[in-house]
Amino acid sequence: MSTTSTTLTLDTSTSRANPTPAPMKRLTVPRIRQRKGGEPLVMLTAYTVRMAQIMDPHCDMLLVGDSLGQVIYGLPHTVAVTMEMMCAHGAAVVRGSYHAAVIVDMPFGSYEASPEQAFTNASRLLKETGAAAVKLEGGKVLAPTVEFLTSRGIPVMAHVGLTPQAVNILGGYGVRGKSDVEARSIVADAKAMADAGAFSIVIEGVMEPIAIEITKTVACPTIGIGASAQCDGQVLVAEDMLGLFERTPKFVKRYGAMSKVVADAVKDYAADVRARTFPTEDNLYRADEEK
């Protein structure tokens, strides 16, 4: 289905890319679901218009993750993330993209109390952002909520294994599924979410055999992060992948060293300012210049 979305034009007065309305085909939830067992799905996190613009042509999905609490706001974990944060950043990413399906995380405390609470908050996220779907963490206990949402027109991406919103219960971010009991529980969680209608499932931080078993068992695509290359797709926090942080988790491959690029550019700028070599004649306005 063709929907109105955005492409990029260059605003020559500011030299900044601005989205302008144009009819484009954006990936839909049914098309993503159809990719099960096919070409792997590419997903990255995005929190801002500009990053969405840059990544969108290469991604099938952009995830407005509650990881923005740590990446953008410097919070110690995702528990403190609010609906207002998710709505604001979700809308920005939708405005900056035209091809990828945008998925927005439901923050901690916005869906656990009841299916009705989840519907109220999920519908708000979709209305205020224009996103295609929401993502929520959890397993069997939340399957009725997923069924409630999907039966009422809200597509849901599930998230099993290491669930960061449960950090206070889990006691940290260690790999999950080392014991047979926990491994079976994670597989059961994924099956329950798939049976409840989730259109895809993120599998995070688990022993590889668990991710492979889930991928072979469920009918919907699986998206791995610290899981297995045999999942139906992969997701990473973009800032990790780009090398914007000094620490690189084991499950991340760094495709760039952007922290050094930024630091070097700022260092050069600071040196020019202190030496009064910036701005130069090329950067100044003169009365005899044409507007």
pLDDT digits (tens, 9 = 90+) for 60-74: 999 999 999 999 999
Residue of 112, 116, 204, 208 marked active site: 204
Positions at the binding site for Mg(2+): 66, 105, 137
pLDDT at 167: 64
Comparing CA positions, the residue from 92, 76, 74 lying closest to residue 84 is 92
Q: Which residues are annotated as a binding site for 3-methyl-2-oxobutanoate?
A: 66-67, 105, 135
- Rounded to two decimals, the pTM is 0.90
Nearest to 43 by CA among 51, 55, 26, 28: 55
What is the pLDDT, as a whole number, of residue 1? 36
**CATH 3.20.20.60 matches 3-262:** yes
Residues of the chain with pLDDT under 50: 1-7, 10, 15, 21, 23
Residue with tokens 């030496």: 275
Catalytic residue status for 281: no
List of long-range contacts for 263-266, beta carbons under 8 Å, 24+ apart: none
Q: Within 10 A of 74 (CB to CB), how many other CB atoms are there?
A: 7
The annotation places the binding site at 66-67, 105, 135, 137
